[in-house]
Amino acid sequence: MLKTSLLAACAFTLMASAANARTNDPAYLEYDGGAQILGPNDMPVTPGGAYTKGTAGKVGLSGAPSSLSFEGVSQYDTRAINGGFSFIPPDTHGAVGASQFMETTNGGYAIYDKSTGQQQALISDGAFWTAAGRTEGAYPNGLPLNNGDARILYDKLSNRWIVESFASSLDTIQIAVSNTSDALGTWKSTSFTGYSGGIADYPTLALDSKAVYIGTNNFTAAGNYAGETLNIIRRGDLFSANPHVTTIKQIFTSLSDVLNGADPGFSIQGVNQVGTTDSGRILAVSIQQPDIVTYTVGNPGTSGATVGPTNYLHTKTYDANSPGRQPSAGNPRVIDTLDDRVSSAVYERGGLIYAVHTVTPTGSDHTAIVWTVSNAATNALIQEGTIGGNGDGYDYFQGSIAVNIKGGVVIGYDRSGSSPLDGTISVFAQTFSSTPKGVLVNTGTVLLHVSNTNDYHNGSVDGSVAAGRQRWGDYSQVSVDPNDPNSFWVIGEFAREPNDVANGHPGGTGGTRWGTWISNVTLPTITAGFKLVGLPSAVPEPGTWSMLLLGCGLVGVATRRRAKAAALAS
């Protein structure tokens, strides 16, 4: 979400009498105000301490060999490099490159030696973008630059890094590309207007051999939902000696289009493809019903790029997500599990598209990670699987996935629950192999890290009632080592110890803190690649969810999902 001052999350009015829309959450399209800035006293800051650091080491893995695992950027770090200010949530993201792992968060970016886990650099996000050539401006009163919602990928085709985020002007998206494979080297950048005069929120990032794809959720300056944009940029423009966006095609779907049944997807995700491609691929959660949509991009990387018709995967129906549990008696359910959006990268390998998102299975009160494998050519759902959702008493959220050229898959996620023994928020991964038909088979579960506290909440003193917005995430990431297809890297969020004397922080305010964790998970050596045989046809389509809107009704899409609401009828 946006790293900006608190904006009131406001409902929007619709000048229409009827339309198809999501009915499981009447607030689905509300803007939540973006990431929250906390000052040195942990109070929210309107624009205008001591810390400790984890060390690299080895962790024992079940189902995969022991691998390197270490702490990444924490809220303590971002406060130290931003004059005591920090941000919630961290918007955790990262990727592995030729010799390094690079991490981006709200407030700070870091680079690590991937062979040892040693931190090579830690820099504020504002300083990074300034060094890359961005001068869009800053918050007043010397507060940190506004450069949130960052995402990063390492491009194996060019052996260079690419980072994007929104800029200080909230309608602008900025992109930085490294000049070499060394993230410590020089970077160049460019920018473009994502949604003029408004907010180009939650920018996504994907690339293939023809184009770079960035999707945005659009809001007016007042916080009203305004539609979706798919930005398609010729990759040669960005990976040139001087990055530019001369050849950009912006496909805008307005609120009016959505009310009339258009379904570009919410939080549009481009599909990362390897090798030469003729068409781009898009996958996102449906706006109109609890499902996933896919469609193709014709002539990607040209000013004549077009999108094809929307196809539905026909996944199992699900309910709105509720907060995640913790063992704490004082704040047992304050972890924001986000909504059902596909929040992290999507990948295509061997003609199959792999994605994950967080949902609440119908009839359950626990969130689960649902992964899908679909046929890129026919849009048929090959397989749908669930991590959680089996009555085990845990909540699973913030999932991410990656797949290698041999069909090996790793899914990273957070898990929490009420149990004082093992309910504390933890970072996990599951490993999979693929059958010749593309069906995933679980090969192990990996516990990567356990949080330092069982009572995490944002912006209030440890042990007190949680106050304010309780954001978590907004995403995690899994990436495949460009030099070793069996080596996967997982980055996720965990809860650090409270900032108080009892936890080694003299003079601390007592506020709880987020941290990030980075782990290398190595799969067993697999020599076979993909072989697609007899792919099954799509499963039957579920009933369409629809509702009649009142003259000024609500359409459903929000960063914070509420309980399922009955359909509205005029």
Q: Check: CB of residue 539 under 8 Å from CB of residue 381.
A: yes
Question: Which tokens go with 31?
Answer: 């803007």
Give the DSSP H/E element, type plus range, for residue 445.
Answer: strand 440-450
11 CB-near residues (< 8 Å, 6+ apart): 27, 30, 554
Q: Which pLDDT belongs to residue 569? A: 22
Q: Is the pLDDT of residue 17 over 80?
A: no
Average pLDDT of every residue of the chain: 82
Q: Which pLDDT belongs to residue 330? A: 86
Q: Is the pLDDT of residue 16 over 60?
A: no
Question: Beta-strand (E) ranges in 299-393?
Answer: 306-307, 311-312, 318-319, 346-349, 352-361, 368-375, 381-387
Has residue 62 been placed in a domain? Answer: yes
Share of the chain above pLDDT 90, in %: 65
CATH number of the CATH domain containing 59: 2.130.10.10
Q: Which pLDDT belongs to residue 251? A: 98
Sheet containing strand 119-124, edge to edge, reads 93-96, 100-104, 108-113, 119-124
Higher pLDDT, 417 or 41: 417
DSSP assignment of 226-290 equals EEEEEEEEEHHHHTSSS---SSEEEEEEEHHHHHTT----EEEEEEEE-S--SSEEEEEE-SSSS
Nearest to 109 by CA among 165, 35, 49, 43: 165
127 CB-near residues (< 8 Å, 6+ apart): none
Has residue 66 been placed in a domain? Answer: yes
pLDDT digits (tens, 9 = 90+) for 244-284: 999 999 999 999 999 999 999 999 999 999 877 889 999 99
Q: Which pLDDT belongs to residue 2? A: 41
Higher pLDDT, 146 or 347: 347
Q: Which pLDDT belongs to residue 129? A: 92
The domain of 320 spans 36-522
Has residue 550 been placed in a domain? Answer: no
Higher pLDDT, 533 or 281: 281
Specify the number of domains making up the chain: 1
Higher pLDDT, 53 or 163: 163
pLDDT digits (tens, 9 = 90+) for 95-117: 999 999 999 999 999 999 999 99
Q: What DSSP state is assigned to residue 80?
A: H
CB atoms within 10 A of CB 179: 12
Q: Is the pLDDT of residue 428 over 50?
A: yes
Has residue 84 been placed in a domain? Answer: yes
Q: Check: CB of residue 94 under 8 Å from CB of residue 72.
A: yes
Has residue 29 been placed in a domain? Answer: no
pLDDT digits (tens, 9 = 90+) for 193-232: 999 999 999 999 999 999 999 999 999 999 899 999 999 9
Q: Which pLDDT belongs to residue 435? A: 85
Poorest-confidence range of 119-133, 323-337, 341-355, 555-569? Answer: 555-569
Has residue 555 been placed in a domain? Answer: no
Question: Which tokens go with 337?
Answer: 């599990």
Q: Check: CB of residue 3 under 8 Å from CB of residue 143.
A: no
pLDDT band at 464 (very low <50, low <70, confident <90, very high): confident
Q: Is the pLDDT of residue 556 over 50?
A: no
Has residue 536 been placed in a domain? Answer: no
Mean pLDDT, residues 294-320 = 95
Q: Check: CB of residue 35 under 8 Å from CB of residue 471.
A: yes
What's the predicted TM-score (pTM) here?
A: 0.86
Q: What DSSP state is assigned to residue 501?
A: G
Nearest to 268 by CA among 314, 213, 310: 213
Q: Check: CB of residue 411 under 8 Å from CB of residue 387.
A: yes
pLDDT digits (tens, 9 = 90+) for 349-406: 999 999 999 999 999 999 999 999 999 999 999 999 999 988 899 999 999 999 999 8
Has residue 533 been placed in a domain? Answer: no
Higher pLDDT, 170 or 55: 170
Q: Check: CB of residue 32 under 8 Å from CB of residue 9.
A: yes
Q: Is the pLDDT of residue 29 over 90?
A: no
